Homo-oligomer: A and B are copies of this chain.
Amino acid sequence: MPPGQLRNPLVVPFLRELIEAGEQEAVREFLDDHHPAQVAEIVEDLEPSEGDALLKLLEPRSRAEVMGYLEDETQERIISAINPSDAAALLQLMSHDERANLVNRLDDDIVDEILRRLAHAEREDIRRLASYEPGTAGAVMTTDYATLPPAITVREAIDRLRQEAPDRETIYYSYIVDSDRKLLGLVSLKKLLLSRPRARIEDVMKTDMIVARLDEDQESVAKKIEEYDLIAIPVVDSDDRLLGIVTHDDAADILRQAQAEDLLQFGGVSPDPEVDEAPYWQQSVYSAFRRRIKWLVMLFMAENLTYPVMHNFKWVTDDNHFPALELFLPLLIGTGGNAGSQTVGTVIRGLALGEIEKEHTFRVLFREFLTGLLLGLCLGTLGFFYAHFWRSQPWGLSAVVGLTLLGICMWANTIGSLVPLMARRFGIDPAVISAPFISTLVDATGLVIYFTIAILLLVHWQR
């Protein structure tokens, strides 16, 4: 597989041939040349038994690294299939946050068997990391970071890091703690290299740090890492004791997941943090149903508003002078929903990227109204000619269609920006405001606009 390319279709057959030919050395060399993420991809593409055989060829540390890139179910299958001693040895070398996650997903009796075979410190580390509440900094942090005491010299610090490096997820930041594990400062490896070898750590360390609290929301922690371009952020408890770090690659995963959830919410699926973290295939049809039905029923209730509107204005469509009035109905309210979806998508994006701030409310409303006016003028003109020339409707009804499009576009853009802005103002996550929600709002009100214009222009005019 050429470096940097995933899922090359030729790799699996090629490796199978090597394995069958007993060329273990060639296979091992091939695997050594590739990134653990690539090896993990290959393992996923192989049959389970082949994948297991491949993993056995790796040296223990590489095997543990590859584990971290495997899918959840594959990790569980592998750890449950090997004997508890081997499983304990594998866990020992895995990244501390990943092994805690894995342990959280395994059956209790398997976990007990494995943990019994680990040293006390390791066992406690796993138990502690596995116990933090999901969605908090504690649950995503890792404990394999490097610490230094404040009183040693830069030279001694570098020597220590050199010894500890193989067991640490990152050595590019070292955390300086006192005997009580209270976080005093941090020093980057770059800073260590730039400092005089005989300088004391406490004189070169940075004391004002960006930190995360143990119970801080994982998304807020990830945003700090991104905001400050950090490689890792220390996690402390209420006594400022250092308990772990969250690394930049985990932050990227958290943010990607969160944004993918925004897409779900925007599509009108009710958000459920417990379930959203599970990938598509791990959610049962029933749980998918349960999550969607909530919103669908609520939207159905809201959509009921269209019934009384239709009922009250029925005399207009029943009027024999304009038998075609109702024919345009789905077209007009559909277009209103579309314009509303566009606006809410734009505004939610601006809010998500932090571009639209609290003080911008009226400016945003005005802008979106203006955009709606332009869109409405354009679509209204189009609709007017379309109704008259293509659908052969009289000028009067065509004018009603055109004016309704103008009115609906302005209205939909106003609603589409007002609702997420109001949501934010009342402390509701604006991403909960979905495209279907706005379409539904615009449906009932769009009908009112249509019938009102029809009455003013056609019915009153006739009399």
**In the bound complex, what is the Cα–Cα distance between A268 and B439 (angstroms)?**
12
**In the bound complex, what is the Cα–Cα distance between A339 and B193 (angstroms)?**
59
- By the criterion CB–CB under 8 Å, are B208 and A348 in contact? no
| Contact A292/B342 with A171-B190, A171-B193, A229-B249 known, Cβ cut-off 8 Å | yes
User: Which residues of B sit under 8 angstroms from A289, Cβ to Cβ?
Assistant: 371, 374-375, 378
- By the criterion CB–CB under 8 Å, are A335 and B211 in contact? no
Q: Interface size on A (CB < 8 Å)?
A: 116
User: Which residues of B sit under 8 angstroms from A292, Cβ to Cβ?
Assistant: 339, 342, 371, 375
| Contact A37/B307 with A194-B166, A267-B341, A279-B355 known, Cβ cut-off 8 Å | no
User: Which residues of B sit under 8 angstroms from A35, Cβ to Cβ?
Assistant: 208, 210, 228
User: Which residues of B sit under 8 angstroms from A443, Cβ to Cβ?
Assistant: 330, 334
- The interface stretch among A122-130, A174-182, A309-317 is A309-317
Q: Mark A295-316, 1 if CB is under 8 A from B, else 0.
A: 1110110011011001100100
User: Which residues of B sit under 8 angstroms from A345, Cβ to Cβ?
Assistant: 263-269
User: Which residues of B sit under 8 angstroms from A280, Cβ to Cβ?
Assistant: 346, 349-350, 353, 355-356
**In the bound complex, what is the Cα–Cα distance between A171 and B317 (angstroms)?**
74
A42 interface residue per 8 A CB criterion: no
Interchain residue pairs A-B with the least CB separation, the first 5: A267-B345, A306-B330, A280-B350, A229-B249, A338-B436
- By the criterion CB–CB under 8 Å, are B266 and A267 in contact? yes
Which positions in A face B, CB cutoff 8 Å? 3-4, 6, 33-35, 37, 158, 161-162, 165-166, 171-172, 189-190, 193-194, 207-212, 224, 226-229, 231, 248-249, 251-253, 255-257, 259-269, 279-281, 285-286, 288-289, 292-293, 295-297, 299-300, 303-304, 306-307, 310-311, 314, 317, 323, 326-331, 333-335, 337-339, 341-346, 348-350, 352-353, 355-356, 367, 370-371, 374-375, 378-379, 382-383, 386, 391, 434-436, 439-440, 443-444, 447
User: Which residues of B sit under 8 angstroms from A259, Cβ to Cβ?
Assistant: 256, 259-260, 262-263
- By the criterion CB–CB under 8 Å, are A268 and B327 in contact? no
| Candidates B285, B295, B337; contact of A436 at CB < 8 Å | B337
Given A231-B231, A231-B248, 6 new contacts (CB under 8 A)? A172-B172, A251-B252, A267-B343, A269-B342, A310-B329, A333-B334
Who on chain B is nearest to A188 by CB? B172
User: Which residues of B sit under 8 angstroms from A266, Cβ to Cβ?
Assistant: 263, 266-267, 345, 435
